[in-house]
Structure formats: C-alpha cells, structure tokens
C-alpha cells in the first residue's frame, strides 16, 4: 500500500480516486495533481512507481494545504473568530449554526439533544413537595428540586 504524506492510499482504486482519501483533496484537485505529475489517470494506485509517488508528494507539499496543516488552519480560523467576538465566533462558542439557519425549530445537529424548558406540571410539583416532606420528617436533606419556604 503506497503512503503519501503519512496516509495509506488504497491500492485497488484508480489514482485520482485513491488520492481523494487524503484530507483536503477532492475530485478536481486529484485530477489536477495527476495531470501535473504526468501520470495516466486510468492506472491503479498499486501500479504507481516510486518516482510517481515522489512527484505526487512534492506537488502536495509545495502547492497544497492538506491533512494536519489544513485541520490546524481551520481550527485557527475558528479560534480567531471567537477571540475577536465576531457574530460567527459567538455562534461557534455557543454551538449554534452560524450561517443564518433557523433555530426555533430544527438545528438539532448543532444544538444537540432536545432539552425541555418550561413550567413544572401540577402533578410533578405535588410529587416533589411530598418527597421533600418525607425527607424532612426523616431528618434528611430535602429532595433536589424541592422548593424552599
């Protein structure tokens, strides 16, 4: 299995598709790299020679931001937005969508599991009060959520 920039390239795929396993390389960039390295796009990754792999590696290192460097750059950009307290940075901090999507409904991917916020129903309130009275009679601390009088 050939390794390019620390990533194992699948040997059973064609070169342009195999290069797309590297983070930051999509179809257009993969095709451009294969063309610039003068490699036949129809060959499989297992048929790449050491010279081909070296040419691809040199192109990627010199002209493209990929893998760890790209991830680091993205994290740095988001941190910068948070430090300058921009609207987008604040939305990232709060874990909300920052591209204008509605949040009254939906946005569950960013907001996480639904948390119900509202008044306690009468039945629940009586149950909490009863458990607080039982705890007081027993001499223990009141139940969590019980109202103090």
pLDDT of 116: 78
4, exposed or middle or buried, with CB in 10 Å at 0-12, 13-18, 19+? buried
16, exposed or middle or buried, with CB in 10 Å at 0-12, 13-18, 19+? buried
Given a contact cutoff of 8 angstroms between Cβ atoms, the answer to whether 110 and 128 are in contact is no
pLDDT of 91: 95
pLDDT of 2: 85
- CATH homologous superfamily of 68-111 equals Ribosomal protein S13/S18, C-terminal domain (4.10.910.10)
What is the domain partition of the chain in residue ranges? 3-67, 68-111, 118-149
Nearest by Cα to 149 from 36, 133, 66, 89: 133
146 pLDDT more than 60: no
What's the CATH architecture for 3-67? Orthogonal Bundle (1.10)
Same fold, 3-67 and 68-111: no
Confidence band, pLDDT 50/70/90 cuts, at residue 139: confident
Taking the C-alpha atoms of residue 131 and residue 17, their distance in angstroms, rounded to an integer, is 64
Given a contact cutoff of 8 angstroms between Cβ atoms, the answer to whether 10 and 18 are in contact is yes
149 pLDDT more than 60: no
pLDDT of 64: 94
């Amino acid at each position: 299995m050939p390794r390019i920039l620390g990533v194992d390239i699948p040997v059973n795929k064609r070169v342009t598709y195999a290069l797309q396993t590297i983070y930051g390389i999509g179809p257009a960039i993969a095709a451009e790299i294969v063309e610039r390295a003068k490699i036949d796009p129809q060959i499989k990754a297992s048929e790449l020679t050491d010279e081909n792999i070296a040419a691809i590696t040199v192109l990627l290192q010199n002209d493209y931001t990929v893998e760890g460097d790209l991830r680091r750059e993205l994290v740095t950009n988001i941190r910068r937005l948070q430090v300058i307290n921009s609207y987008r940075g604040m939305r990232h901090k709060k874990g909300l969508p920052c591209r204008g999507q509605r949040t009254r409904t939906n946005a569950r991917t960013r907001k996480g599991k639904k948390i119900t916020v509202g008044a306690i129903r009468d039945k629940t309130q009586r149950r909490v009060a009863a458990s607080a009275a039982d705890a007081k009679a027993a001499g223990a601390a009141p139940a969590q959520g019980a109202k103090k009088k």
